[in-house]
Amino acid sequence: MFNKIIRRGHRKVSKSDGADYGYAPPGGGRSSGSVSTSNVVVNHASRGGALSNSGQLTTTMPAAAPLPPSGTIESLPLFRDVPVTERQNLFLKKLQICCFQFDFSDTLKMVREKEIKRQTLAELVDYVQSGSGKITESNQEEMVRMISLNIFRCLPPASHENTGSENVDPEEEEPYLDPAWPHLQLVYELLLRYVVSSDTDTKVAKRYIDHSFVLKLLDLFDSEDPREREYLKTILHRIYGKFMVHRPFIRKAINNIFYRFIYETERHSGIGELLEILGSIINGFALPMKEEHKLFLVRALIPLHKPKPIALYHQQLSYCIVQFVEKDYKLADTVIRGLLKYWPVTNCQKEVLFLGELEEVLEATQAAEFQRCMVPLFRQVAERALFLWNNEHIVSLIAQNRNVILPIIFEALEKNIQSHWNQAVHGLTVNVRKMFLEMDVELFEECQRQYAEKEARAKELEEQRQLTWQRLAAAAAQGG
């Protein structure tokens, strides 16, 4: 209960790629500094910034409108109640009302003004969505400014920052729900409608939906409110699809977020949502695949298997990985060796996740690539490989290479049958052993003979060791 109370306290809150970088429709700041690669700098949303002397682009927080005296905000007429010639001017006035910021943690403060703002935001959303009038360029600029004032804010501190405990499991943390969400949702909805509207000219809109704006959107993915991250995911998808000029920049900025998460913080609320966006982007990659994309797989996606909270985003990560292999089957060896590099040793739950992903990757693997990685694969995952035998494609690959694989896993099969505590594993082992026997009797008997010889040698060595200890003990007793 105490943690819940604490948690509700103060919370901080290029040229077009063309066909080179395809795009498929979507399927489904607590940083202490900036994340930078080349000329891309991702700063926390709460930090101001400008164009530095080196030409690096940093985020800048717009100045919020001061709170008006209570009772001074008045409702404006509806769009349908004024002449068409007056609607652009009315649109601007409504935007100005929505620039005022309120304290939503106090539900009894300025209730009337908050409701007027909420109704005004809803009217703006309806107006943009209806397409009843094309918005002037100056009003588009003011609209993006109003949106920026509302959504680009200091994110609240994470639960572990409030309590001072770094050992809090992210999976066990309750999601934080922003009290301002009834207003924020409408602001996000307005931005989404603006981006997807057929009336929005990208040549004009890109002046306001620029690199700085995109960076600040990406920074908000660290919000603990899942509703906000869902909107951000949808909006960034749409921006990526509509503003082709931003595509390389968005990919690089997402890379930077991943690098900092992997190698520094291991804490970020929006890794899953960012991976969902990338899943659609990868799905649209043109073939042959660019070297840039392969490097992204090796340097960012595969190392994402390392952080402890992988369970929070593993489903989306696995989808991205499999997309790469399905796009280019030659990447299977790279992926499987990468999985083995980060294979969990003492975490059973994480190991189950890896096994599921490994099965999906093997499903998309061709025989030649399988042969390249099968020896390290079955040496490291010998016992766990039993669980892959329900997949016909994988069984076929193993059968073709049984001369190499059976000697690797034979000992694990025998030891499972002799002493494994789990009945399910014991039963599965018996079935796999039988399949190998029926597959190649001669090979099976040869492996059995070698295993028996190894066991006999081990027994003999153990007997000699015991005999040596007995002699030493006897000699020590005589000397005493």
Say what the pLDDT of residue 126 is: 94
pLDDT at residue 60 greater than cutoff 70: no
Average pLDDT, the chain: 83
Handedness of CA 383, 324, 327, 239 (dihedral sign): positive
How far is residue 3 CA from its own chain's centroid?
A: 27
Which pLDDT band holds residue 174 (cuts at 50, 70, 90)? confident
At residue 89, the pLDDT reads 95
146-152: average pLDDT: 96
Q: What are phi and psi of 160, to 5 degrees?
A: -70, -25
Structure-token pair, residue 2: 């105490």
Is 99 a residue whose pLDDT tops 70? yes
Q: What is the pLDDT of residue 170?
A: 61
Instruction: Look at residue 272 and tell me whether its pLDDT is greater than 50.
Output: yes
Of 305 and 31, the one with more pLDDT: 305
Q: Report residue 36's pLDDT band, with 50, 70 and 90 as the boundaries.
A: very low
In this structure, of 16-25, 63-72, 80-89, 223-232, the range with the lowest mean pLDDT score is 16-25
Give residue 134's pLDDT. Answer: 83
Secondary structure, 3-state, the chain: CHHHHHHCCCCCCCCCCHHHCCCCCCCCCCCCCCEEECCEEECCCCCCCCECCCCCECCCCCCCECCCCCCCCCCCCCHHHCCHHHHHHHHHHHHHHCCECCCCCCCCCCHHHHHHHHHHHHHHHHHHHHCCCCCCHHHHHHHHHHHHHHHCCCCCCCHHHHHCCCCCCHHHCCCCCCCCHHHHHHHHHHHHHHHHCCCCCHHHHCCCCCHHHHHHHHHHHHCCCHHHHHHHHHHHHHHHHHCHHHHHHHHHHHHHHHHHHHHHHCCCCCHHHHHHHHHHHHHCCCCCCCHHHHHHHHHHHHHHHCCHHHHHCHHHHHHHHHHHHHHCHHHHHHHHHHHHHCCCCCCHHHHHHHHHHHHHHHHCCCHHHHHHHHHHHHHHCCCHHHHHCCCHHHHHHHHHCHHHHHHHHHHHHHHHHHHCCCHHHHHHHHHHHHHHHHHCHHHHHHHHHHHHHHHHHHHHHHHHHHHHHHHHHHHHHHHC
Between the alpha carbon of residue 29 and those of residues 156, 178, 187, 249, 365, the distances in Å are 8, 15, 20, 20, 39
State the pLDDT at residue 196: 95
What is the pLDDT averaged over residues 394-400?
Answer: 90
Kindly report the length of the chain. 480
Percentage of the residues of the chain whose pLDDT score is greater than 70: 80
d(CA 223, CA 151): 11
Q: Does the pLDDT value for residue 124 go beyond 50?
A: yes
pLDDT score of 20: 39
- Give the per-residue pLDDT at 461: 92
What confidence tier does 67 reach under pLDDT thresholds 50, 70, 90?
A: low
> 227 pLDDT exceeds 90?
yes
Asked whether the predicted pLDDT for residue 15 surpasses 60, the reply is no
User: Predicted confidence band at 315 (pLDDT cuts at 50, 70, 90)?
Assistant: very high
Q: Which of 3-17, 35-49, 456-470 has the highest mean pLDDT?
A: 456-470
Q: How far is CA 17 from CA 23, 285, 320, in A?
A: 11, 11, 21
Distance CA 253, CA 378 (A): 37
